Structure 1
């Protein structure tokens, strides 16, 4: 009788996968034994597997290159990274190794761009696409960037007022884009996105405010829908509406030569995840080609702003199951040594599901459980997988510690959860590891930051630090990443 956890997974999914395999009873992630990671660093911990970032960027570039060649597409493709997915320095450094560009969404984002430029990671020709609703600080920082020589900084106009604010601060002629306010899916509580300018208003806006403005050149039309790039009637209908606007605007504005289709590639949320990326890219390129051919206008250069797709699959979190509570005859609660609300906020805020697997004890029998966090909040729980509608784990045994890992958590969780700040119920933020891999296949693991201390939290709350007892166990990013930490093979 097949009652081991390993049997359950192998009967339910195609396993092993490109990311996951087993060594005895322990889980390997891209060949790295996670039990070794726990033995060395303990739990709870978060990790960022940097090579996955470059891998996904390379995959996307190949899909677009293939589609461009297949359809004889005359435009170019530009990959932008959406920084709000993760502003983490080492994520950006890894991404920028791949000849990509940047998309920003706030005033502080521009400060990061300036730092990257100062450090030589981007140059004046790097495209900096500035999205979002822009107030004084953001406008001022964009203007400073353009005035400082960032030739390809393109602020995307979100409303009618922004063009006046920008022209009053930018010294010379500059490029802009216009964002389309797309219509939302019928299930949404509102009909039209709050971001951008309505379909029917874009050409009149250009004619009135941009056409005769000697200081502005319209370069880009921006299109994005919240549900992402998916093979649905809704997506294709919105894309065709966008293309109708593009060809109309192109006939009014010869300088328009780029279409930004935003982000929206999904990341894996289960072991049975299926998505035909190449088909979607092929069809997008084909639809743009056909629309422009029919309208007898030149095809645009294509920009994307992949954020979650770039960084999501690089992240993970590991917890220990501390205790099991039998609350009634059917519900067993496995209590972890951290909090879902603080470390995986998407799991409760938008009911996001992640790939979750035990780190060890795969040869043990399994049981159905619920997972509970350490806070006193009733919403601090995790109760199902994407495709199983339940959670199965090796049976709890106080004599044999059980560790569990959540994968593909690299996008948004840190910034939404409040990285380095106060967490719900003052549950400390876990330690954070950086994992890299050299040309010889050896893993380099370094501690970016240790778990938050009580003294750090008290200081944030305004309590005077006790210098005799305060323990600030914070590791400098500069010192940590370049230190000679042990290498796991």
Structure 2
């Protein structure tokens, strides 16, 4: 087993144990699982949850009775297929969700212990990060031992939270817009013994909350969300700073304080909340925000508010690219450093002000859920530029420029690459112009195009021998990448790749003991040029193409996209009417995969009904079309029956490619 090696320190996240099944040999090998792990970076972004075994298969590292167990993703997929479900598949691993919840709570527990902090940590999971029933159910079940709560930003999310969060020591934090029904639900939960906090984000919310509290005869737990001046430089920087959409300015916070003072209800104000935005990459921004918020907290306490809770919001980042840097897809800190810095700063400010240490709440959804899910899809076809380069015969009576282009191919060497490149570009440009004016045939153009890319491919193969390569050639290299067509929808399963250029780790889940020989981009099966992936982590660097293996005739090739548990299921859409994928929740029992639950993906009938088609009506309309064809003598009645049966089977089938 190739493990993610880690050096435990204050900067590192607590990581799960990983199994080691390596049978290392001193005999040299051309390519090994170790080479693959370095190429695809699994030792950095995998956090010990994912690795590669000596058979060359990607593995997920789970635990059973406290012992590490490595399960092959290929074995898991084959087991799912034996049970009647096909790719694309979304695999969920509840052990990884439990490990992340445990790691987050362990980090804060350690930080509190080291600093002799006198408050507690009470995390909440933001339902918006992944709203699926299985996720919320598992979060509340696993989190019970830590009194880990939920955050709800809408009425439907609050209804879900109230059905699953029954721990009287945990919190339900209510953010977002709140109408009367929302407020009544939260106040009713208080009467049922659930610590439900109504966070004031709009100046006008307080009056309605207090009116409903009086009507229901309950004392509300109130919080205020404040807009900090501190900003971060991450992808979600607009969620931070004084111009963020939600929250109160300092003067609006004071208006809330004075309004409560006039009501003699400052005892209701117990929580200060702020949010820096998701995926904050730089620890300095977290420290600065904690300092500013802590100062506001102690001032509210001095004003007479009861306080006792500080909600630091989300922002705890995931290292998607394994670089451990302050770039949008990474972070320059670990979970323990994050917790320690927050605890130390809040404690220091409170001690200086003579205020008790508050309980700390965080809304770290991405950090909890990202590792939970893996998308698996099969490659359907490959468009390889090198497979058809320069295979056409020279057309008879070809234009002189076609022959000149062939002469360039004949004289190319290391010393004249730039000159040959310039000539090739010139002749090809002239030939395209001649074709557009009807002066050469399609056969001549096809030969010239094939020869041009053959030339460029030869030139690229010689670049490593040059001290300085032509800039134009380095740019053209991207145009020569193979295209691997995957059985998935980027817009449904990986919407952040399209919407915000989010990087997700990608690698094959098998054949990893073979050296990849192709360089490719990935395309989905939507009819959209944006349905492509061309940003990858390769050998610790961002690349525009991914090393992959050549397809073997008749053999399937499976890729995995990792760390997709946060936001992707919630944000996915029905582009080209490609629906939800099959989902399987996987655990481990007796050292083998255990298929805990299965959720079939959308059928064609499902997605058509989402956009207001009636599947029965569609069948009837097609039946009429076929019957008219029978009456007109275009098809037989037997052909009609076959066509109608095929149509009905398709209506009931999976929206993705089926074998």
Q: TM-score range by the shorter chain?
A: 0.7 to 0.9
Aligned-pair CA distance for 1:5: 7.7
Give the CA deviation at 1:402.
Answer: 1.1
In 1, the alpha carbon distance for the partners of 2:265 and 2:130 equals 37
Task: Assess, with a 3 A threshold, how the Cα gap between structure 1 residues 230 and 323 changes in structure 2: closer, same or farther.
Answer: closer
Distance 1:45 1:431 in 2: 5
| Contact 2:487–2:525 (CA under 8 A) maintained in structure 1 | yes
Q: Which residue of 1 aligns with 2:198?
A: 155
Number of the residue aligned with 1:98: 143
1:105–1:11: structure 2 CA closer, same or farther, 3 Å change rule?
closer
Distance 1:361 1:309, change over 3 A: same
Partner SS, residue 543 of structure 2: coil
TM-score (norm 1): 0.87
Structure-1 residue corresponding to 2:508: 358
**Further displaced range: 153-162 or 174-183:** 174-183
Q: Is the 8 A contact 2:71 2:592 kept in 1?
A: no
Q: Tell me if 1:24 matches 2:55.
A: yes
- Shift of the alpha carbon at 1:191? 5.1
More strand, by proportion: 1
Question: Which secondary structure state, in structure 2, belongs to the residue aligned with residue 374 of structure 1?
Answer: coil
User: In the TM superposition, what is the alpha-carbon distance from 1:441 to its structure 2 partner?
Assistant: 4.0
Q: CA deviation at 1:23?
A: 4.1
Is structure 2 residue 207 aligned with structure 1 residue 176? Answer: no
2:135 equivalent to 1:109: no
**Number of aligned positions between the proteins:** 464
TM-score (norm 2): 0.66
Could you give the per-residue CA deviations for residues 394-432 of structure 1, whole angstroms, max 9, x where no partner exists? 2234443210001111111111115xxxx1001232111
The residue aligned with 1:326 is: 384
Partner of 2:535: 384
Query: Structure 2 residue aligned with 1:248, among 286, 299, 302?
Result: 299
Question: 1:307 Cα shift?
Answer: 0.9
* Cα pair 1:15 1:21 within 8 Å, conserved: no
Determine if contact 1:365/1:394 at 8 Å carries over to the other structure. Answer: yes
Instruction: Report the alpha carbon displacement of residue 137 of structure 1 after superposing the two structures with TM.
Output: 4.4
SS at match of 1:87: coil
Alignment of structure 1 residues 14-413 onto 2, 5 Å? 15=43, 18=48, 19-30=50-61, 31-40=70-79, 41=81, 42-96=86-140, 97-99=142-144, 100-116=148-164, 122-146=166-190, 148-170=191-213, 171=216, 172-183=218-229, 184-185=231-232, 188=237, 192-210=243-261, 212-214=263-265, 217-228=268-279, 230-271=281-322, 275-326=333-384, 330-366=480-516, 367-386=518-537, 387-390=541-544, 391-413=546-568
Q: Is the 8 A contact 1:179 1:223 kept in 2?
A: yes
Q: Residues of 2 paired with 1:204 and 1:213: CA distance?
A: 14
Distance 1:441 1:264, change over 3 A: farther
> C-alpha distance in 2, partners of 1:102/1:325?
47
1:436 is the counterpart of 2:479 = no
Structure 2 unmatched ranges of 5 or more: 1-27, 62-69, 325-331, 386-452, 458-479, 620-644, 655-659
Partners of 1:371 and 1:83 lie apart in 2 by: 31
Query: Following the alignment from structure 1 to structure 2, what is the Cα–Cα distance between the partners of residues 21 and 108?
Result: 41
In 2, Cα distance between equivalents of 1:365 and 1:124: 55
Q: Tell me which structure has the larger Cα radius of gyration.
A: 2
Please name the residue that 1:479 is paired with: none
Q: Distance in 2 between matches of 1:44 and 1:14?
A: 22
Q: Distance in 1 between matches of 2:42 and 2:203?
A: 52
Identify, as 1 or 2, the structure richer in helix: 2
